[in-house]
Structure 1
Amino acid sequence: MQPRIPRQSAREHGVQRVDNDARLSAELASVVGGARRRAVRDGDRQIDTAHLLHSLLDSDPEARAVFAEGPQIARLLGYLVQRSIGYGLRWQSRVEDSGAVPVVTEAAGFSPLAAACMDQACERAARRGGPARGTDLLAVIVADPRARAVEVLERAGIDPRQVLDRLCGAPDTTRDCGEATH
């Protein structure tokens, strides 16, 4: 049986295979694997920033800690689950586009914007001198108003700018907060 979303060379989207990418922390590689599984399970053509956000919240305690506990995180997770069980169907027919990378419609893998965010997270981490972490990825995702993850946050009543402000106040992230925008 062929998978609904065949694996594609991540190099096609400017991102090395995350299974052995030294630029990613083990936690972030796990996040990306979770986002890939979520996209396959949901029947989505590509891993988009909302898949990455959902996986960050599920498996990265440092990224999850950026969000206020209680109703805010519960509402966000509820919305992400709702999206994965049906709301996302309206997004399956179009690609999350960064505007900078050619749109790929016949292959699975990262959306152009998600690929760009992965690259920028790795660049942020390289300036810090370490592998990319979940908070690096979260910072570049929430800084881009075109990201589906930003739409998800806004629909859940969370201001992405406040998330970015919290990230900028976190250790090891203040240097690059001004560079998180696309």
Structure 2
Amino acid sequence: MSSRIPAQPAAESGFHRTELEAGLSDELASVVSAARRRALRDGDRQIDTAHLLHSLLESDPRVRAVFDGGPQVARLLGYLVQRSIGYGLRWQGAVEDSGAVPVAGEAGWSPAAAGAMERARVGPRGGTGARCLDLLAAIVADPRTRAVEVLRRAGVDVRVLPPRIESVSRSTCADEEWTRE
């Protein structure tokens, strides 16, 4: 069985797990863990933005609230499942492939996923506990990612997502403030 991603020296990747995962909230650390398991289970060498999107949609109701209701989320999850079982082979070789070989038994990070994690980690809260909505915002900010390709194929207008993410984030922050009082 040939690999989907051509092998290159691991030193070229430059995306270190400990750096990318430092300062994550418990909820986002759980999403990353699920994305890593999904990548390994699927036989992928790297966690990419589609793995992250899949885990975000499954785990966080605030992320699902950004989209146009249940049918759109179901369609998105359908595309992501097709991809994970190999039906979406046309996504192989897309921009996220770096060719980096991770440490044995662990999925590394695609350049786009690493960039999204870094942007989420140091995002709007100034590095104080990145949240799932921060990662979603970072993922949709790069139009060349696999996750954005999946979103478009599922009929999502990616241009409307940033203001929706902001709106859900604001309402979440207001709810959190209210419950602390």
- Measured in 2, the distance between the counterparts of 1:54 and 1:27 equals 14
Residue number among 154, 168, 171 corresponding to 1:170 in the alignment: 168
Corresponding residue number in structure 2 for 1:81: 81
Corresponding residue number in structure 2 for 1:67: 67
Bigger drift between 150-159 and 116-125 goes to 116-125
In structure 1, the gaps of 5 or more residues are: 1-7, 98-102, 174-182
CA 1:136 to 1:27, structure 2 compared with 1: closer, same or farther past 3 Å?
same
- Superposition map of 1:50-61 within 5 A: 50-61=50-61
- Superposition map of 1:1-182 within 5 A: 12-16=14-18, 21-93=21-93, 96=96, 103-107=98-102, 108-127=107-126, 130-172=128-170
- Measured in 1, the distance between the counterparts of 2:88 and 2:39 equals 10
**Rg larger in structure:** 2
Bigger drift between 107-116 and 84-93 goes to 84-93
- Measured in 1, the distance between the counterparts of 2:28 and 2:169 equals 17
Structure 2: which amino acid aligns with 1:112?
P
Residues 140, 147 of structure 2: 8 Å contact kept: yes
- Secondary structure of the equivalent of 2:168? coil
CA 1:171 to 1:39, structure 2 compared with 1: closer, same or farther past 3 Å?
closer
Structure 2: which amino acid aligns with 1:117?
A
Residues 15, 119 of structure 1: 8 Å contact kept: no
**Equivalenced residues, count:** 157
Bigger drift between 156-165 and 83-92 goes to 83-92
Cα RMSD after superposing both structures: 2.5
- Measured in 2, the distance between the counterparts of 1:106 and 1:22 equals 22
- Measured in 2, the distance between the counterparts of 1:92 and 1:46 equals 12
- Measured in 2, the distance between the counterparts of 1:160 and 1:96 equals 18
Residues 15, 115 of structure 1: 8 Å contact kept: no
Comparing both chains, which one has the higher relative contact order based on Cα–Cα distances under 8 Å and sequence gaps of 6 or more? Answer: 2
State the shift of 1:93 in Å.
Answer: 4.9
State the shift of 1:172 in Å.
Answer: 4.4
Deviations 1:104-127 (A, max 9, x none): 422241101100110000111442
Calculate percent identity across the aligned residue pairs: 61
